[in-house]
Amino acid sequence: MTSRTVTLLDVARAAGVSKSTVSDALQGSGRVAEATRDRVRAVAEELGYRPNSAARRLRRASTGAVGLHLPATATRLDYYMNLAFGAVERAQEDGLDMVLLAPSGAAGGRIASRVDGLLVIDPEPGDSAVPGLLDAGVPVVTGERYLGPATGPSGAVVCDNAASLTALLDHVTERGARRPALLAPSGSSAWATALRATAGSWGRAHGVAVTLRTVPFAATPAEAEAATRALLAADPAVDAVICAPDGSAPGVLRAATALGRKVGATSASSACGTTSASGGNGRNGEGARSEGARSESARSESARSGSAGPGRPGGAAAAVGPMSGGLLVASCVDGTATRGAEPPVTAVDLRPAAYGRACAELLCDILADRAAPDTARRHSWSLETRASTGSPG
């Protein structure tokens, strides 16, 4: 290879280390063992690697700015705007300006000459801008992992998206649902991939088929309404709809109203008292246990009198499932659309502003040598239960 064709990734592959380790070894920064530095430098010299002009400028002086790349759909989603505000606030605490990059991105070299590092949020393998950003020659932190074939980022901040959907599915079944459905996001981001996979794995583990309908990654309320109408028309037994895209929940509620489905109504809530989302720590715990005992007694009496079994009309499943026409509604992303809906919608609060801060903090820490390259940090979420699943607001 000639010096013009050799990249950091070529050196990383030949040396058996990550791209960020090569960058640190050649710049004399980061936490890299001396033996590794020597090996990387030897490999770079053997291959004829020469740093580009942008990288040389970055070594001489900081630009005082970091870049932020958001998905193309981000401009109309509440989640990403809150995330961006959090990231800007945290970067400023380290004296760094935040540059919002155009959705189409730019060549890595041009970006690297303008910023010290990059934040790439929810990177899609199909986003043509992402590989160039990851190989721009500056530290890169992703919000969620990148699942594409390009070189990996310097660090990542991730949520346990499988756990958050599991919590929603557990919650709606605890509230009486027996036929849950998921309006799953399209695309190949880590978030979308995790939600679709979790719907299948949860269903297999619980012996419950989770009906899956794919909608756009940033589905509008109108698109969610159309998808919900088609879903309930095809399978009227569906008694809980979990919508993934931010801001789409009002569309599900409109579909339920148009079809005469009572949102949040369950016979389980009236039979078993008020419980918490985790099941068992409700404000009326003693009453719930007492009512639960009476319900169990009633089911035993029904069985003795020859009533139909679980899954048949009049059986145990019918006794604790949603009322005729009832529908539970929940969302994978909390926001103004879920909090302000009527009824308010149970949702996973991903804490986007705090998430943006966490991403910017990791990038700042890597730039200041307070964190090692390839660092991954976890971001927490919470389940907010509301009236749309029969839970107290």
Successive 10-residue mean pLDDT values, the chain, 393 residues? 64 88 74 84 84 48 88 85 97 94 63 86 89 88 90 89 98 96 95 97 96 96 98 96 97 97 68 36 33 36 36 34 74 97 98 98 94 92 97 65
Q: DSSP letter at 388?
A: G
pTM score, whole prediction: 0.72
For residues 243 and 224, is the Cβ–Cβ distance under 8 A? yes
User: What pLDDT shows up at residue 63?
Assistant: 86
State the Cα angle at 267 between 266 and 270, rounded to 5°.
Answer: 105
User: What pLDDT shows up at residue 114?
Assistant: 86
User: What pLDDT shows up at residue 76?
Assistant: 79
For residues 249 and 331, is the Cβ–Cβ distance under 8 A? yes
Euclidean distance between CA atoms 270 and 89, whole angstroms? 46
Q: What is the pLDDT of residues 225-273, one digit of tens each?
A: 999 999 999 999 999 999 999 999 999 999 999 999 999 975 444 334 3
